[in-house]
Amino acid sequence: MAQALHIQFRKKLSQLTHRLLSKLFPIKVDEKSIPKEDIKRILVVRINYRIGNILFTTPLLNALEKEFPNAIIDVMIGATFVTPLIEAMPQINKVYSFPRKLLKQPLKVLNLRKELKNNHYNLLVSPSLLSSSDSFFTLLTPATYKLGFYAPDVFSPLTHAISFPTDISHEALKPLALMSAFGKTPQEFDNFMNLQISQQERDAVSIDYTKPTIGIFRDARNEKKIEDKWWRELLLELNKLNLKLNFIDILDPNNQTPLQKNIETLSEKNLRILAVRIAKLDAFICGDTGPMHLASASLTPTIALFKTTSPSLYGTLGKRDLSLEMRGKDIKEIALEIDEHLKRVHHQ
């Protein structure tokens, strides 16, 4: 599916801007380690407005916690509604958000910059290579060390730059390559997303199911969306294979129409609470969409159905997850694969 013209134009303009700024302000790739003893306060900058892209920062956030257990870690993201998801992680001190509308309020932008300056960060980490927003904030925010990726013709206002990894395919794992600035390798850290949901959070959600309960989420963007008729047939086939299953239809905030009347529904706008509720399920089935990553980061066995895209870049990463490509398979085949995976996972 071709991208809209305004998106193509914006990407082209961003590439040209990066190329120009990289020529005017070239940086030298510095592979030397950053002195760990200097790091007391960290800011991770990922100004993005999609749930999945923010969740992709969790392997890096968990790696930084492991490497700097006594450091204060703040995060700068884009959309405000994602804030509860990250700020409840045990190692996170504060989450700042930079919604697009903030650009129309220069006084608030200046106050935000002043607060960030007064935090006296020792380390700023910018894990996205091509984000103009991240580069802008990295430039404006003072920090002793500024760490990110380097690539030719890309503007990166950094003090320490790591060559962009070509041997790591998944977008959530690429930021772990930045840990080489501290003499570490990506393999030394957890290679999956994890929101670190606490037992206290789990206990606060009073949901107890009497039989295995599977969550489903039907919405997705554009051609990734799977029709409701297909979902009804899938649940029918799964029930034929395993009559003990119970299903919960998790509704999109913008689409409150249930799949069918005899299935329980769940609607929750607070993403952290939703993550906790998903964490108490036996499994989660959905298409290629943000809640797929939410479920996986909640450590619930997640079965992701890929209709048109490949899971190599954006698939699930959990040890108990399954990225299932739908092309060339009928519903019975897919239902059988799901059933076999569920039995394998819950009998380990």
pLDDT tens per residue, the chain (348 residues)?
445 565 566 667 666 766 776 666 666 656 668 999 999 999 999 999 999 999 999 999 999 999 999 999 999 999 999 999 999 999 999 999 988 887 778 888 889 989 999 999 999 999 998 888 898 889 889 999 999 998 777 777 888 988 889 899 999 999 999 999 999 999 999 999 999 999 999 988 877 677 889 999 999 988 899 999 999 999 999 999 987 889 999 999 888 899 998 899 999 999 999 999 999 999 999 999 999 999 999 999 999 999 988 888 888 999 999 999 999 999 999 999 999 999 999 875
Backbone angles phi, psi at 81, to 5 degrees: -65, -15
Q: Which residue has the tokens 């013209």?
A: 5
List CB contacts of 312: < 8 A, sequence separation 6 or more: 169, 170
Query: CB–CB of 219/290 below 8 Å?
Result: no
State which amino acid sits at residue 286: C
State which amino acid sits at residue 222: N
Sort 220 into a burial class: Cβ within 10 Å, 0-12 / 13-18 / 19+.
buried
According to CATH, where is 3.40.50.2000 located in the chain?
24-188, 200-345
* CATH number, domain 200-345, options 3.20.20.70, 4.10.91.20, 3.40.50.300, 3.40.50.2000: 3.40.50.2000
Architecture of domain 24-188: 3-Layer(aba) Sandwich (3.40)
Query: CB–CB of 327/345 below 8 Å?
Result: no
